[in-house]
Amino acid sequence: MRPIILFAALSLIASPLAAQTAPPPAPSADTPVAVLVSIPIPAGVPRTAIADGMAKAVPQYRAVPGLVRKLFTIGDDGGFGGMYLFRTRAAAQAWFNDAWFARVAKTYGSTGKVSYYDVPVALDNAPLPESVAAK
């Protein structure tokens, strides 16, 4: 294959890839943010104890500034944590601060993994079943 033809063929293949890897535009300051948190369950702690602790923590989370919704989670991967929706990234980062990480490390003996996701669109189909709705 001639070099010019090879270059043209490669540019056709690379163009869609380049468009897919370009960084997304920065969110505005008022874009909501979803946060996924996972903390390893300490050895010997039963799932029921984790769930009981979550139910007891509901009043604390009702008072978190900027928090819209929290789903308490226990994963199949041996971790627990939650899925959060905050009004802004600043509100989320204010909650998941150095003190939060220190408390998690002291309480559970490991660090939590915190991942942030911009939320340009949100959908809420229906209320959760009564069996999981926080009281």
What are the pLDDT digits (tens) for 32-86?
A: 999 999 999 999 999 999 999 999 999 999 999 999 999 999 999 999 999 999 9
To the nearest 10°, the Cα dihedral for 39, 45, 50, 52? -160
Integer angstrom CA distances of residue 111 from 38, 47, 105, 114, 119: 9, 19, 5, 9, 25
The residue-averaged pLDDT of 20-33 equals 74
**CA angle, 114 as apex, 61 and 63 as ends, to 5°?**
10
pTM of the model: 0.75
Sheet-wide strand order for 113-118: 67-74, 79-86, 33-40, 113-118
Model pLDDT, residue 57: 95
Q: Helix, strand, coil shares of the chain as percentages rounded to 5?
A: 40, 20, 40
Instruction: Map out the domains of the chain with their CATH numbers.
Output: 33-118 (3.30.70.100)
| Measured distance CA(119)–CA(113) in Å, rounded | 19
Model pLDDT, residue 6: 47
Q: Is the pLDDT of residue 25 over 90?
A: no
